[in-house]
Each structure stands twice: as structure tokens, then as C-alpha cells.
Homo-oligomer: A and B are copies of this chain.
Amino acid sequence: MKQPCALHPHPHSHAHRLIQPPLNELTEQLRRRDRKITAPRQAILEVLRRHQHPLTNREIHAALGESECDLATVYRNLNTLEQMGMVRRFDFGDGTARFELLAEGDDGHHHHLVCTRCSTVVEVDGCFSTEVEARLARTHGFTQITHRLEFFGLCPKCAAGA
């Protein structure tokens, strides 16, 4: 059930889609899988909903403010939220995982363009998935093929101010 995406077609891409799944729906999700709706959990989802960037565990923890909870708890929750498919994990290769809230039904398949200097992140929508993956499956006999793709570069601001 991949998106009908294709990296080539659209010569444009918006920076961010709307991510606004009411907290209710989110807690709804939790309830469904007999997970408990705890304060840290809600606070974390709240933070993710506010920031539409991929955030690190540390950043999320820092953004909790009032509803502070242990950093380990943040780690644990992001792992379970990922398993539940409510959050997507990204790896920009700097040794720290980042997470983004997923809208329901969204498999979160998109990629990023990351500034190598300031870490600004731009969402890149569209991807060449299925076609190539199918070819790889045929050629090498692999199944359940997925991929990880991120772009890196120097953003306009950084290119200018240096």
C-alpha cells in the first residue's frame, strides 16, 4: 500500500503537509491497542504536533516544559509510538534519531533535504519507490523491500552567510 508517488513527475514540493490529527484521535489510537494514556505520552504527542520538524529525543524532552518527564521515558515512548505507526523515525546519519508525527493512514513515506550546516529540514514529497523496488525484488529475489533516502546540501541561508 504505497503512495502512488514518483520522484520525477512533480517539479515542485511543498515544505509541509497539514498534520493536525486531533489529540482525541491519537489517544483513541492508544486506547485501541490497550496502551495507557499517560501524561508523558500526551505531552510528547502534543510537542510533536506543535513542531512539524523531525525532532530528536532530546529536543522533544526539552520542549516538554511543564510536563517534564524522564528522558528515558521519552525514548521508550517514541519507540512504542513508532511501533504503533503513530510516529515515523528518521535517520539523518548524524547518530541521533529524529521523529515526526504521522497523520492517520499516512504511511509517512517521504524524504528530506537536510542542510549540512544548520540542519534545516525540508520535506521532499514524492519518491520513486515501487518501480525500483519491484525491479530489485525481481533481480535479487528479495522481498518486503523498503528504502531509506535522504538528501543533504547547503541551504540558501548558509550558502550566503559563509
Contacts and interface: CB of A to CB of B under 8 A. Distances in A.
Contact of A142 (B131, B145, B146, B153): B153
A144 B159 CA distance: 10
Contact of A153 (B13, B93, B143, B155): B143
A145 to B, nearest CB: 4
B156 A141 contact: yes
Contacts of A132: 7-8
B150 A137 contact: no
Contact of A139 (B11, B145, B159): B11
B8 A148 contact: no
Contacts of A11: 135, 138-139
Contact of A8 (B91, B131, B144, B153): B131
Interface in A125-162: 128, 131-133, 135-156, 159
Interface size class of A (residues with CB under 8 A): 35 or more
Contacts of A141: 155-156, 159
A142 B116 CA distance: 10
A95 B153 CA distance: 22
A8 B130 CA distance: 11
Interface string A110-135: 00010110000010100010011101
25 contacts: A8-B128, A8-B131, A8-B132, A11-B135, A11-B139, A91-B91, A93-B148, A95-B95, A122-B142, A124-B136, A128-B128, A133-B151, A133-B153, A137-B153, A140-B156, A142-B151, A142-B153, A142-B154, A142-B155, A142-B159, A144-B153, A144-B154, A148-B148, A148-B149, A148-B152
